[in-house]
Each structure stands twice: as C-alpha cells, then as structure tokens.
Amino acid sequence: MTFHKQSIVLRGIVGFLAVFTCAIFLFPAGPLDSVSTKVRDGYLRKARVWHKTDIPRMDISRGPNGLGIAPDSEVPCKYVEPAFGGTSPKFYCKLGGSEEIVRVKFHRRETYGEIAGCRLLWALGFYSDENYPVQLQCNECPEDPAEPRGKRRSYQMDDAILERNFPGEEITEFHDQGWTWKELDRVTEKSGGSKKAEVDALKLLAVFMQHTDSKHQQQRLACYNEDIQKDGSFETCSDPVLMIQDLGATFGESGKEVAAESSMYLKGWEHQPVWNYEKEAAYMKRNAGKRTCFGNLISAFADGLSDPEISEGGRLFLADLMNQLSDEQVVTLFAVARAPRTGEYIMKNGRKLPVTVQDWLDAFKRKRAEINNHRCS
C-alpha cells in the first residue's frame, strides 16, 4: 500500500473513532443514573447553577408550590416507610387525595433551616429542592417514624416539612454520588455551563447561610424531565443543573460537626462574619498586596465547602441578587421557615426576650451589607 493510500485509510479510521466517541457521549448506553465517568464529566462541565428570576415578584411564602399546599396547612398522609441518609430523621408518606409519595422531615431546627435555605435559593434563581412547611396528620404512624416498631396510630406533627421528589433524574455513575464543591471549578461557560461569577455566587451564598453539612451527598447533578431525551434505552440531558439537595444545617454556626447550633440559631449565625479576614490578609502578604476574598465557613466534612475563594465578579453577582430582596420578602422567609419557634432568647436593653422575625431581618441585612461593602480585587 502506498503512503497516500495509507494516509487515507488512517484518516478514515481516525474520523470513524471521532464519530464513535461523540456518539458514546451523546448517547450514553443506559439511563442517566449509571453513566460513565467521562459522560458525567461532560455533563458537569456544561451544567448550570443559576437561572434568572424576577426576584422582587417571587412569592417566598408560597414557594415553587407544585403541590399547591399553603404554609402550615393541615395535610393528611399515610405512613409508608422510613427514609435513610443524612443526620435528621425522615420517612416516606403517601398524601391523601393525590396519592403522591413525599419525604417527610420532622426534626425541628433542621426543618426550619431547610425551608429558609431552599426558599432563599429558589427566589434568587439557584436550584434547590421543593419543600413545604405543614401541620402533618400522619395516619398509621409508628411512635418513631424513623424506627417503625410497635403500635401504630394517627397523630399530628406541627413542625414537619414535605419534600417533593425531584421532577427529573440524577446524573450519576453510582448511587448517592452527588458532587463536591471542588468539582464546581470544572464548570465552564465555554462548554455551555454557568459563568464563573454565578458559580462563585453560589459558593458565597452557601457561606452567607453558613451551610455546614456540605458533603457530596448533599448536592446533586440532575436533569429536569423536560430536558431528558430518550432513544430506546439511551437517555441524554440537554440542560444539566447543579443543585444543593439538603439545606437543614443552615442559618446557624458552622463547625467541625453538625450540631443543634448548626440550624436556625440566630446568636451563632449573626456573629459569624461572611469573610475570613485573617486568610485574606495572609494572602495579600504572600502576593505583594494583591487582593482576593475568602468566605468564612467551616465544613463538618472533608469534602465539604471550607473558606472558599470568591472572585470580585462572584461577590458583585450575589450582591446584586440579594439587594433585590425587599424587607417584606426577608421577613416572610423567616416567618414561613418558623424561625420564631426555636425557643431562642436574646438580650435587649438588659431584658431577655424571645427571638422574632425582625431580629432575623436585622441580622440578614447586616450580613448582606458585609457582602456589599467588601472588595475582592
């Protein structure tokens, strides 16, 4: 065979392999919940963390409300089975009427943090779960729904929240894979994913909320049903998203372990600065005065988010979103999350008084001002 013919054959082989490789990515063999490492990485790079919302018009009390349930409504459900994973007790329950099965959380402080965190992300345009604070009438329920032993009866749970199943599929290599915060740095606008400013804004928002329980199982790479294309046994996703799955340990004080103070604890939350000034000063000293920002956050897990570096673009992006929230919306955020039910007291003018939503609003505005008044370049 002549050199010319050999080169034609080689080019043909290379072209075939290129098409075959593209076909493997575009049509992964099987469902989205069992993709290869390479396919998952491709989806990760082109995933989005944010979409535009009309923030001033977002009804934080109602929320996404795909279930059509108003806050603190009396909702009947029939106990199904316990749900495992995470640190808070939970179980599955079948709703009366719709027959939809939802996940129920009933650990007080964590349910408060979950609602506040999810509604804040939803209003600002970041992806999160759909949760509802309800007065749950649990029928045929064990004394401890997380440990279904002994007699069953019907009783009311005043601080329960319903978590609706995600309307789509997770994109994973294996069960409960999620994503780590380090993997966020692989998202690129060039690949069709979010801009760096949007990614950094999500990190800064996690710092703002003091999101302590940020291990990989608490996040997910996912695809909404309307963005899934099916061809026989093949599934592809045209618009993957990165979202936080569990926000129970928020609006408290971050630490090396998830504790009662990690969730909806005003005194701990308001005294945690947004920025790690010591780390920023050390960076400037090492880099001849060059500035950058570091968020102030302690993760309870090795693969969680700790003191992330934040770009000026990320700071400005989140500041712009947060500044669009009205005082009324922030008051509603903490009211619908049931923040006053924590039983926490603070000292005011020498008097011990119960914490109110106004106290939470004041703390929120002070911490938002920290974001507004700082500079990262």
Residue 119 maps to a domain: yes
Could you tell me if residue 65 is left (phi over 0), alpha (psi between -120 and 50 degrees) or otherwise beta? left
Let me know whether 203 and 301 are in one domain. Answer: yes
Beta bridge partners of 138: 77, 155
Residue 232 maps to a domain: yes
The packing angle between helices 196-209 and 108-124, to 10°, is 150
Report in angstroms the alpha-carbon separations of 347 from 15, 180, 260, 271, 359: 73, 39, 20, 14, 11
What's the confidence (pLDDT) of residue 249?
92
Structural domain count of the chain? 2
**Distance between CA atoms of 86 and 80, rounded to whole angstroms?**
19
Tell me the mean pLDDT in the region 92-101: 87
Residue 19 maps to a domain: no
Domain boundary (135, 163, 191) is at 163
What's the confidence (pLDDT) of residue 85?
67
Structure tokens at 93: 């329950």
Domain that holds residue 191: 168-373
Q: Euclidean distance between the first and final Cα of the chain, in Å? A: 62
* Three-point CA angle 258, 260, 266, nearest 5°: 110
What's the confidence (pLDDT) of residue 148?
82
pLDDT of 11 over the 50 cut: no
Residue 145 maps to a domain: yes
Helix or strand run (H / E) with residue 89? none
Return the SS3 of 154. Answer: strand
pLDDT of 5 over the 60 cut: no
What's the confidence (pLDDT) of residue 253?
92
Let me know whether 60 and 201 are in one domain. Answer: no
What's the confidence (pLDDT) of residue 199?
98
Q: Give me the phi and psi of 248, to 5 degrees please.
A: -65, -40
What's the confidence (pLDDT) of residue 109?
86
pLDDT of 203 over the 90 cut: yes
Please name the amino acid found at residue 181: W
**Distance between CA atoms of 40 and 34, rounded to whole angstroms?**
9
Please name the amino acid found at residue 180: T
Query: Positive or negative CA dihedral for 225, 230, 235, 239?
Result: negative
**Distance between CA atoms of 293 and 280, rounded to whole angstroms?**
6
Let me know whether 172 and 157 are in one domain. Answer: no
What's the confidence (pLDDT) of residue 6?
39
Let me know whether 317 and 181 are in one domain. Answer: yes
For residues 47-69, one letter each, b for 16 or more C-beta atoms within 10 angstroms of the residue's C-beta and e for the rest, the string is bbbbeeeebeebebeebbeebeb
Q: For the chain, what's the residue count?
A: 377
Helices (H), 84-222: 108-124, 196-209
**Distance between CA atoms of 148 and 81, rounded to whole angstroms?**
8
Tell me the mean pLDDT in the region 16-26: 41
Let me know whether 273 and 357 are in one domain. Answer: yes
What's the confidence (pLDDT) of residue 86?
63
Residue 21 maps to a domain: no
Residues 82, 90 contacting (CB under 8 angstroms) = yes
Residues 297, 95 contacting (CB under 8 angstroms) = no
pLDDT of 21 over the 50 cut: no
Let me know whether 339 and 197 are in one domain. Answer: yes
**Distance between CA atoms of 130 and 78, rounded to whole angstroms?**
20
What's the confidence (pLDDT) of residue 66?
82
